[in-house]
A and B are shown apart, each in its own frame.
Chain A
Amino acid sequence: MLRDELRQILEKGLRDVEADWTVPAGIINDPEMHDAERERVFGRSWVFLAHDSEIPERGDYVVRYISEDQFIVCRDEDGEIRGHLNSCRHRGMQVCRAEMGNASHFRCPYHGWTYNNKGSLVGVPAGREAYGNKLDKSLWQLKPVPKLDTYKGLIFGCLDPEAQSLEDYLGDMKFYLDIVLDRSDAGLEVIGAPQRWVVDANWKLGADNFIGDAYHTMMTHRSMVELGLAPPDPKFALYGEHVHTENGHGLGIIGPPPGIPLPEFLGMPENIVEQLQRRLSPEQVEVFRPVAFIHGTVFPNLSIGNFLMSKDHVSPPTSFLTLRLWHPLGPDKMEIMSFFLVEKEAPDWYKEESYQAYVRTFGISGAFEQDDAENWRSITRVLGAQYAKTMELNYQMGRGLYEPDPDWPGPGKAFPMDYAEANQRNFMEYWMQLMVTDPVPHTGNGKVSDGTAAEALARAEA
């Protein structure tokens, strides 16, 4: 149950986000909010686990997380992708203690219970002597991820067995995800493994930053503006679109300012441009053609950055694609997992340039990434305090300035520039809706809401 005080903050927040376009600062760094969030947000959202190229061969596995729960995501002996709780059914010991590898079986080092990579318990030492052969091994398989599904190579898991399907959950966001994930015949591959690092910051700040915040570029990244790696035009985000969909998802799509001669389609190599024009719909091609920056978040904690940037101050720009997971470790701590992906069929020169541009701009040491972490940890520290938690944060950008764009060829609610905070409000509103909606275990279709704050409030009060 949600404590009354938290419920009041959230219900006021839901009213304010619609009426005043503000968000309560107290949702950022608060231990009780975090506890409730684990159950109410991460307990029923589809959470990104891995890309299928990370486990290409039978037996390949990686260990990944939904909230604190740890799962072995593997390709079993039949080639099927599975997710198992990394915990032995006897005493709960980890059965896999490496981050990645290849294994046909996982053996618990405590007492030796052994599971195959389908999750079945296949070996119990001294089974005859210890259990008199009465242990029904079929009842003691590794616990599966309650729901596991993939979309265009992305593997997601969900802890709510009654949740809506992944397809429905992603909804209109799929139109935009396809532009990134499905533009080549052979698809994408994760190169190496994700970079992992810990930041003393709340995970929502990363999600908020990527879903819509083009506004921070000119100040946070001003050093890179001065070095010519980010657009010098302070109005650059005017030349973009700001789009959000149901279930809290959203993205920004920015083209070059007029007169700046950037290549079409993020300057992708010719063979990929040829493929994407064939694979994507005419509307998707129209959306993608002028793009120089795509930034977005799939609710709750998967973000996308597909940017055209230079690897240093003397080289021409190359595009790169990063996926990042803002994995919560507490109200004031997250682990960032940052993935670099590239089209399998891209030429080697492009893969190399793209890798270098990523590592030097948006990897852990990247000249852009560094400054973002600085902001998020500072915000988190400040908003953890008693008086600061009572603030309302201003989410009013663009208020009264523009209406949804009727000419936008894609789905979702689109605004004709990226200086807007509709995506961020939509994200926070959906987050608050989930937070005030008490979980109803194993009933209904698990669909919480894609409606208005008022509906969620009415349900909460009912």
Chain B
Amino acid sequence: MTTATEITDTTVREVTEWLFTEAELLDGGKYREWLDLVAEDLSYVVPLRVTREREAETDIVEGMTLMDDDWDSMEMRVLRLETEYAWAEDPPSRSRHFVTNIRVAAGGSADELTVKSNLLLYRTRGDVATFDILSGERHDVLRRVASGYRLAKRVVVLDQTTVMTHNLALIM
């Protein structure tokens, strides 16, 4: 057993802090700073789910997703938000990432951790008295680098098959 796969209290605290900092950046609209926390080989996927019978092995659809981004397309999203014409988020949504049930485990390599967390994302726009909520589970791979951690992989499995918000313009 190597020390790298040992999950210490310190590791859990660091990961928790990282997730909370990330949530703060996203809810504060600091996407450029968020991008600095992302690895250049990023894979960011929101699978498509359908309602299936219990006997079906999975309700996750093969071949189609709700989001499937890499670093380039994520940078495109950020560049888009930096123009004056990203109407879907201008005026911006008010959002709140609630991140709970954080579970940290050893990753596929010595410098990586796999992190599961629950996400409740609240979103409201404009002066209407309504809001949207997305609930799901995040499966992350965090990579240890000299300055901290980088998000190398994220899979967000949403709990709804028919998504109850008018677009996925927010980063989950």
| A370 proximity list for chain B (CB < 8 A) | 88-89, 167-169
CB pair B162 A197 closer than 8 Å? yes
CB pair B166 A313 closer than 8 Å? no
| A226 proximity list for chain B (CB < 8 A) | 83, 85
Tell whether A392 is near chain B: CB-to-CB under 8 Å: no
Choice from A201, A219, A227 contacting B79 with Cβ under 8 Å: A227
| B130 proximity list for chain A (CB < 8 A) | 200
Number of A interface residues in the complex (CB < 8 A): 46
Tell whether B14 is near chain A: CB-to-CB under 8 Å: no
User: In whole angstroms, what is the CA distance A193 to B64 when docked?
Assistant: 7
Tell whether B48 is near chain A: CB-to-CB under 8 Å: yes
CB pair A371 B64 closer than 8 Å? no
The segment out of A116-124, A131-139, A357-365 that lies at the interface is A357-365
CB pair B72 A313 closer than 8 Å? yes
Contact with A along B77-90 (1 / 0, CB 8 A): 10110010111110
Q: What's the dominant secondary structure at chain A's contact region?
A: mixed
| B8 proximity list for chain A (CB < 8 A) | none
CB pair A197 B165 closer than 8 Å? yes
Contact with A along B55-77 (1 / 0, CB 8 A): 01000011111111110110111
Give the interface residue-count category, chain B: 35 or more
| A227 proximity list for chain B (CB < 8 A) | 76, 79-80, 83
Choice from A192, A199, A200, A311 contacting B73 with Cβ under 8 Å: A311
Q: How many A-B residue pairs have CB under 8 A?
A: 130
User: In whole angstroms, what is the CA distance A364 to B48 when docked?
Assistant: 11
| Given the contacts A227-B76, A359-B68, A371-B88, A196 and B162 also touching, CB distance less than 8 Å | yes
| A385 proximity list for chain B (CB < 8 A) | none
CB pair A198 B164 closer than 8 Å? yes
Tell whether B1 is near chain A: CB-to-CB under 8 Å: no
| A193 proximity list for chain B (CB < 8 A) | 48, 50, 61, 64
The segment out of A15-23, A36-44, A97-105, A248-256 that lies at the interface is A97-105
Choice from A311, A313, A335, A359 contacting B162 with Cβ under 8 Å: A335
Choice from A97, A100, A219, A374 contacting B88 with Cβ under 8 Å: A374
User: In whole angstroms, what is the CA distance A98 to B130 when docked?
Assistant: 29
Q: Which of A333-350 touch B at CB < 8 Å?
A: 335, 340
Which of A192, A200, A229 counts the most B-chain CB atoms under 10 A from its CB?
A: A192
CB pair A364 B167 closer than 8 Å? yes
Tell whether A195 is near chain B: CB-to-CB under 8 Å: yes
Contact with B along A258-297 (1 / 0, CB 8 A): 0000000000000000000000000000000000000000
CB pair B64 A198 closer than 8 Å? no
CB pair B85 A222 closer than 8 Å? yes
Tell whether B161 is near chain A: CB-to-CB under 8 Å: yes
| A98 proximity list for chain B (CB < 8 A) | 50-53, 56
Tell whether B119 is near chain A: CB-to-CB under 8 Å: no
Tell whether A223 is near chain B: CB-to-CB under 8 Å: yes
Tell whether A191 is near chain B: CB-to-CB under 8 Å: yes
| B48 proximity list for chain A (CB < 8 A) | 192-193, 195
Tell whether B4 is near chain A: CB-to-CB under 8 Å: no
Q: Whole-angstrom distance from the CB of B143 to the nearest CB of chain A?
A: 22
Of all chain A residues, the one with the shortest Cβ separation from B54 is A98
Tell whether B7 is near chain A: CB-to-CB under 8 Å: no
CB pair B56 A191 closer than 8 Å? no
Q: Please, could you name 12 A-B residue pairs with CB atoms under 8 Å apart, sorted by A? A: A100-B52, A191-B64, A192-B63, A197-B163, A227-B83, A229-B76, A311-B73, A359-B64, A364-B66, A364-B167, A367-B80, A374-B166
Given contacts A192-B63, A224-B80, A227-B76, 16 further A-B contacts (CB under 8 A): A97-B51, A98-B52, A98-B56, A193-B64, A196-B161, A196-B162, A201-B166, A223-B83, A226-B83, A311-B73, A356-B68, A364-B66, A367-B77, A371-B87, A373-B166, A377-B166
Residues of B within 8 A of A (CB): 46, 48, 50-53, 56, 61-70, 72-73, 75-77, 79-80, 83, 85-89, 128, 130, 161-169
Q: When A and B form their complex, which 8 residue pairs have the shortest distance between CB atoms, in order from nearest? A: A192-B64, A370-B88, A365-B168, A222-B85, A197-B163, A370-B167, A192-B63, A373-B166
